[in-house]
């Protein structure tokens, strides 16, 4: 695992950065590295910070985090027992400001992506992570790669930007092997590598999606790729031998720091820490500076079904597939991704 540390003055020095520098940052993330800012490049206004640190949230088994949904300008997961309506309004404004500022910062910092991402949910994580009582699949203190149970990404990559806003406490992570290595532990032995849906399954999924039934049954919205990534997440958390023997390192993110990482490919766990902000981006795999590092490309190398399958779902030539990628569009299906209106914040990884 590689952590590249970026000092604030390096970002402030040149604006915009050279294209070589921004490409190197993208490549580092895509290779399974972490970009770490000991001092966050996105300072939170002092009154917002004070407000966030004053929030109480009961240690519910239902809600893991508070989410801000930029597409609807809404919050979810708030503990209504302890929050007044004035609190809710202020929290919404604080989260909105945070989300916009991270999006604007990354537009310049990761310029090679040309904003080919969907601004996904932001989250506020006010609970102490150490000793949380959660069911195995929702535990974040077990090593895992992220997958969204009710929001399939269809191959779009999960990039997360974190900020430890605790005034004195580090946020303690464990980081393990990157996807290309860890996937070999599980597939094809414990998990089958993804294969395109059969014609019958595809038809059933299309029908479920067009009638709205798919919003009730998450599996019907998942492509074979999403299904594999979900199973990988679950299997990893449930495999105690893997958890005990993994090749991993501890990382402490100091108070006031930020970091970002592709969490669907970098195995990670949080062991302790309280009060963090996070913004998720779903990045177009075709925007990668190293397309061969996308998880679907790695899966294909490991035996997932290769091009040719695309022809059966109407992607009849390479020009219609994501540019620069050799993999089949059938893993993603042809529909445009939309965040599910029925998303349940308690399932957010
Ligand atoms: C964190 O809250 O620090 C990370 C949790 C996770 O994505 O597993
Ligand atoms: Fe995670």
Q: Is 276 in the pocket of ligand 1 (CB under 6 A)?
A: yes
CB atoms within 10 A of CB 251: 17
Structure tokens given for 342: 């029925």
Contact of 182 with 284, CB cutoff 8 Å = no
Q: In percent, how much of the chain has pLDDT > 70? A: 83
Q: Is 166 in the pocket of ligand 1 (CB under 6 A)?
A: no
Beta strands in the chain (DSSP E): 3-5, 34-37, 66-69, 74-76, 117-125, 157-164, 171-178, 249-253, 258-262, 266-272, 276-283
What residue's CA is closest to ligand 1, atom 3? 270
Q: Is 64 in the pocket of ligand 1 (CB under 6 A)?
A: no
What residue's CA is closest to ligand 1, atom 8? 140
Structure tokens given for 166: 């605790």
Q: Is 263 in the pocket of ligand 1 (CB under 6 A)?
A: yes
| Mutation pick for ligand 1 pocket among 124, 164, 278 (CB with most ligand atoms within 8 Å) | 278
Q: Is 328 in the pocket of ligand 1 (CB under 6 A)?
A: no
Work out how many domains the chain is built from and give that number: 1
CB atoms within 10 A of CB 244: 7
C-alpha closest to that of 312 among 223, 202, 238, 229: 202
| Mutation pick for ligand 1 pocket among 125, 164, 262 (CB with most ligand atoms within 8 Å) | 125
Q: DSSP secondary-structure letter at 140?
A: S
For residue 140, the ligand 1 atom closest to its alpha carbon is 8
pLDDT in tens, 158-205: 999 999 999 999 999 999 998 999 999 999 889 988 888 788 888 887
Q: Taking CA 124 as the corner, what is the angle to CA 51 and CA 286, rounded to the nearest 5 degrees?
A: 140
Q: Is 237 in the pocket of ligand 1 (CB under 6 A)?
A: no
Q: Is 270 in the pocket of ligand 1 (CB under 6 A)?
A: yes
Instruction: Examine the pLDDT at 337 and tell me if it is beyond 80.
Output: no
Of 71-85, 106-120, 121-135, the one with minimum mean pLDDT is: 71-85
Instruction: Quote the ligand 1 centre to 269 CA distance (angstroms).
Output: 6
For tokens 């059933």, name the residue. Answer: 204
Q: List the domain range (segments joined by +) for residue 182.
A: 3-347
Which has more pLDDT, 228 or 335? 228
Query: Which pLDDT score, from 0 to 100, does residue 63 have?
Result: 53
For residue 269, the ligand 1 atom closest to its alpha carbon is 8
CA distance 262 to 160: 6
Which has more pLDDT, 2 or 193? 2
Contact of 254 with 91, CB cutoff 8 Å = no
What residue's CA is closest to ligand 1, atom 7? 349
Residues ≥6 apart with Cβ < 8 Å to 299: 183, 187, 193, 194, 225, 228, 327
C-alpha closest to that of 269 among 135, 132, 143, 127: 143
* DSSP-derived 3-state class of residue 156: coil
Task: Output the average pLDDT for the chain.
Answer: 83
For residue 129, the ligand 1 atom closest to its alpha carbon is 2
Binned at pLDDT 50, 70 and 90, residue 1 comes out as: low
Q: Is 99 in the pocket of ligand 1 (CB under 6 A)?
A: no
pLDDT in tens, 230-258: 999 999 999 999 999 988 999 999 999 99
Instruction: Quote the ligand 2 centre to 133 CA distance (angstroms).
Output: 16
For residue 160, the ligand 1 atom closest to its alpha carbon is 7
Q: Is 171 in the pocket of ligand 1 (CB under 6 A)?
A: yes
Binned at pLDDT 50, 70 and 90, residue 59 comes out as: low
For residue 268, the ligand 1 atom closest to its alpha carbon is 8
* DSSP-derived 3-state class of residue 174: strand
Instruction: Examine the pLDDT at 332 and tell me if it is beyond 50.
Output: no
Query: Which pLDDT score, from 0 to 100, does residue 58 have?
Result: 59
Binned at pLDDT 50, 70 and 90, residue 305 comes out as: low
């Amino acid at each position: 695992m590689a952590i590249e540390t970026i000092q604030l003055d390096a970002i402030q020095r040149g604006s915009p950065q050279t294209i070589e520098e921004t490409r190197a940052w993208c490549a580092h993330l895509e290779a399974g590295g972490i970009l770490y800012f000991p001092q966050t490049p996105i300072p939170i206004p002092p009154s917002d910070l004070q407000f966030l640190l004053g929030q109480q949230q009961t240690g519910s088994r239902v809600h893991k985090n508070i989410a801000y949904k930029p597409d609807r300008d809404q919050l979810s997961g708030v503990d209504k027992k302890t929050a007044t309506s004035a609190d809710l309004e202020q929290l919404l404004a604080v989260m909105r400001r945070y989300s916009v500022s991270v999006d604007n910062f990354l537009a310049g910092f990761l310029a090679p992506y040309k904003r080919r991402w969907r601004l996904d949910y932001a989250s506020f994580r006010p609970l102490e992570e150490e000793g949380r009582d959660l069911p195995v699949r929702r535990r974040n203190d077990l090593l895992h790669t992220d997958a969204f149970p009710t929001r399939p990404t269809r191959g779009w990559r999960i990039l997360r930007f974190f900020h430890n806003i605790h005034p004195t406490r580090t946020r303690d992570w464990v980081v393990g092997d990157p996807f290309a290595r860890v996937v070999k532990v599980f597939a094809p032995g414990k998990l089958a590598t993804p294969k395109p849906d059969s014609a019958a399954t595809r038809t059933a999924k299309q029908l479920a999606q067009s009638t709205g039934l798919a919003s009730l049954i998450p599996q019907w919205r998942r492509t074979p790729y999403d299904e594999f990534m979900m199973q990988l997440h679950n299997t990893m958390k449930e495999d105690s031998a893997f958890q005990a023997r993994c090749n991993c390192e501890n990382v402490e993110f100091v108070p006031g720091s930020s970091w970002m990482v592709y969490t669907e490919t970098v195995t990670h766990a949080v062991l302790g820490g309280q009060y963090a902000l996070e913004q998720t981006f779903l990045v177009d795999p075709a925007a990668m500076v190293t397309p061969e590092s996308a998880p679907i490309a790695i899966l294909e190398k490991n035996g997932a079904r290769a091009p040719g399958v695309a022809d059966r779902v109407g992607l009849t030539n390479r020009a219609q597939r994501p540019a620069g990628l050799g993999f089949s569009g059938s893993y993603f299906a042809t529909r445009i991704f939309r965040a599910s209106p029925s998303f349940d914040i308690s399932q957010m990884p």
